Amino acid sequence: MTETEKKVFKPNAMTLLTILLSSMVILMGAAVVAPALEPIANHFGITDNFTKSLVVSLPSLSCAITGFGVGYLADRFGKVKVFYGALLIFTIMGVAGFFATSYISLLVFRFLLGIGITGISLTTTALIGEYYTGMNRAKVIGYQSAAIGVGTLILETTGGSLTEIGWQFPFLVYLIGLPILIMGLISVKDPSRIKREGAFESMPELDIPNRGRKILFCYIVVFMEMFLMFSVPMNFSAYITSMGASYTLCGFLMGVMGVSQGIFSIIYSRRVSKPSEVSAYAIAFLMMGISLALLYVPNIAVTFISMVVMGFSLGLLMPTVISSLSMYSTAKTSGKVMGGYSVALNLSNFISTMAFAILIGILGSFHNMYFLAGCIAFVMCLACLVVRARSGTPMAHTMPKESVVQTPVLSESPVMYDSILVATDGSENSMNAVINAINIAKKNSASLTALYVAGSDASSIVGNIDSVDHIQMGGVEESEDIFSKVHSLAEEAGIEVNTKVLSGSPANVIVDESANHDLVVCGSLGRTHAKRAFIGSVAETVVRYAHCPVLVCRMNR
């Protein structure tokens, strides 16, 4: 065995467990002491609501300030090294709060804690993108979201229980970072040592239309979701105790949200049919709005239901955003991309603290404040639906009969098209469309381009789940076989055909590409032969939003 072979690293069960345990602290690492806010304020004599909330929000401000910088370090020096350092900072600065002798020193410890949370957040998410591919990555992203939810239950319930002993005891929860660090040193290694099949290093990067705008949209979505969600832990202890409940119950109810998030993530990841990315965002904001509106009713049972619905919202939106960002990033940029994700995630926490502290003073009660937050969530739901409509991904409609055309028998006709695009996924129906496209191209002496959308089969959580690198691996392999058949058919007809591989949502990619052609040809059925599902999600979208005429071919049965 060569020295290189000895160094080959393969992620194992302990690697996965370490990543999942680390993921537990991403969302609620700062809020673990939220149930103790009132006792902490009483101990240090703090009366201002905003100053009180800094114990929870300051780590998030730190994350927002340092996110891109830590992401750069992860890309420059290695994600694993940053991961180790982040866990060490998280543990030391988290526990340091137990020994704080002044409010200022406590805030300093909390700010430094945020740097650790930033490193853990972006490295664990980026490592998932590099360690796992295809369906395995889909499963791990679902597990990660579930782990975040379980972490909410464990951390918040434990923090609430320890608050009953004394204000400083919740800070001992951060000792969880020590065993995670030890496990990481054993099982988490440099992703560059993972053995990959084939020489994909030199392959050109796949083209993702509007990549920057799509990444920015993900940031905006996660910012708004977390902005609304963090209105809860910041004020929850005072809200719950005002109804005569204990700090332990406060932590438990926050934990219910986490468990609901985990359960929903796992169930959702197993579904075969899923909404598009933007549709998932709209549904998540709808559920968030319902959850927050329910908090207008000061009742423990209603609050329990609210936390369940809020967990469902997070369980849908978080893996959707992570999956999308994984697709839009590469091994060389994942640190910075996930650093931006960490900034959006945590900046929302800090701004939420300031905004809702002011709103409580204006509106006069927690109930009114939560109701307003719910209305904001409903507005975001509508905004996502508008974006969905404008991007050419409408809600499911009934396919107009006139849009589906029987395979035509072509005769001599005047030239109508100069450039033709045919979309194919290798299925029988799409190859029938290829034959028709070749026929039309020959009759019109037109150029013909065959398009394959890489990642179109990998929609396990929210459409595309692979990073660009791994979509490229599977997409190039798959397209080579498909394009060989296309070239063979074209040669028989005596014409040339260009081939193109892009990644993204099949419908959106085809619509975007249609702007460069005079005619789009596609099949009425995809690989699954699930006619209604395919027509509703791809062919209908292309028919309705393409920039040129569309011919949808179906086979005679």
H or E segment at 271? none
Confidence band for 400, pLDDT divided at 50, 70 and 90: very low
291-349, pLDDT tens digit by residue?
999 988 888 899 899 999 998 998 888 878 877 787 777 666 766 777 778 778 778 87
Task: Find the helix packing angle between 103-131 and 37-44, rounded to 10°.
Answer: 150
Question: 123-132, 134-143, 295-304, 505-514: which has the minimum mean pLDDT?
Answer: 134-143
Residue 99 pLDDT: 93
Question: 140-144, 267-271, 386-390, 428-432: which has the minimum mean pLDDT?
Answer: 267-271
Q: What is the mean pLDDT of residues 423-428?
A: 82
- Phi then psi for residue 407, to 5 deg, are -55, 120
Residue 192 pLDDT: 62
Distance separating the N- and C-terminal Cα atoms of the chain: 57
Write out 89-110 in H/E/C secondary structure.
HHHHHHHHHHHCCCHHHHHHHH
Whether 278 has a pLDDT exceeding 50, the answer reads yes
Question: What does the block give as tokens for 115?
Answer: 């740097």
The C-alpha angle 190, 196, 200, rounded to 5 degrees, equals: 110
H or E segment at 383? helix 366-390
Residue 402 pLDDT: 38
- Round to whole Å and give the CA distance between 123 and 129: 10
H or E segment at 326? helix 300-328
- Partnered with residue 553 across adjacent β-strands are 405, 523
Q: Length of the chain, please?
A: 557
- Round to whole Å and give the CA distance between 120 and 114: 10
Are 87 and 107 in contact by the 8 Å Cβ rule? The answer is no
144-202, pLDDT tens digit by residue?
777 776 776 677 677 777 888 888 888 988 998 999 999 999 998 877 655 444 333 43
Residue 473 pLDDT: 52
Q: Identify the CA nearest to 349 among candidates 197, 505, 229.
A: 229
Beta carbons within 8 Å of 401's beta carbon, 6+ residues apart: none
Which percentage of the chain shows pLDDT scores above 90? 18
Neighbours of 326 (CB within 10 A): 28
Confidence band for 476, pLDDT divided at 50, 70 and 90: low
Whether 397 has a pLDDT exceeding 50, the answer reads no
Are 522 and 473 in contact by the 8 Å Cβ rule? The answer is no
- Phi then psi for residue 333, to 5 deg, are -120, -5
Which percentage of the chain shows pLDDT scores above 70? 78
Residue 29 pLDDT: 66
Residue 557 pLDDT: 53
Write out 351-373 in H/E/C secondary structure.
HHHHHHHHHHHHHCCHHHHHHHH
Residue 393 pLDDT: 44
Residue 90 pLDDT: 93
The C-alpha angle 313, 316, 319, rounded to 5 degrees, equals: 130
Question: 8-22, 25-39, 50-64, 423-437: which has the minimum mean pLDDT?
Answer: 25-39
70-109, pLDDT tens digit by residue?
888 888 888 899 999 999 999 999 999 999 999 999 999 9
- Partnered with residue 529 across adjacent β-strands are none
Q: What is the mean pLDDT of residues 237-261?
A: 77
3-state secondary structure of 302: helix
Are 481 and 512 in contact by the 8 Å Cβ rule? The answer is no
- Round to whole Å and give the CA distance between 354 and 342: 19
Residue 404 pLDDT: 40
Residue 526 pLDDT: 53
Q: What is the mean pLDDT of residues 129-139?
A: 69
Mean predicted lDDT score pLDDT of the chain: 77
Q: Which of the pair, 209 or 255, is modelled with greater confidence?
A: 255
Question: 287-291, 463-467, 503-507: which has the minimum mean pLDDT?
Answer: 463-467
Residue 8 pLDDT: 64
204-244, pLDDT tens digit by residue?
444 556 778 888 999 999 999 988 988 887 677 677 877 87
- Round to whole Å and give the CA distance between 223 and 504: 23
Are 155 and 250 in contact by the 8 Å Cβ rule? The answer is no
- Round to whole Å and give the CA distance between 61 and 542: 43
Q: Which of the pair, 556 or 260, is modelled with greater confidence?
A: 260
- Round to whole Å and give the CA distance between 472 and 493: 30
- Round to whole Å and give the CA distance between 501 and 447: 17
* 550-554 vs 498-503, strand pairing mode: unpaired
Q: Identify the CA nearest to 337 among candidates 184, 132, 123.
A: 123
Q: What is the mean pLDDT of residues 381-391?
A: 86
Going along the chain from its start, the domains and CATH numbers come out as 12-191+203-390 (1.20.1250.20), 401-554 (3.40.50.620)
Residue 432 CA: distances (Å) to CA of 13, 212, 281, 344 = 45, 35, 35, 46
Residue 555 pLDDT: 66
Confidence band for 122, pLDDT divided at 50, 70 and 90: confident
Confidence band for 448, pLDDT divided at 50, 70 and 90: very high
- Round to whole Å and give the CA distance between 384 and 362: 29
Whether 398 has a pLDDT exceeding 50, the answer reads no
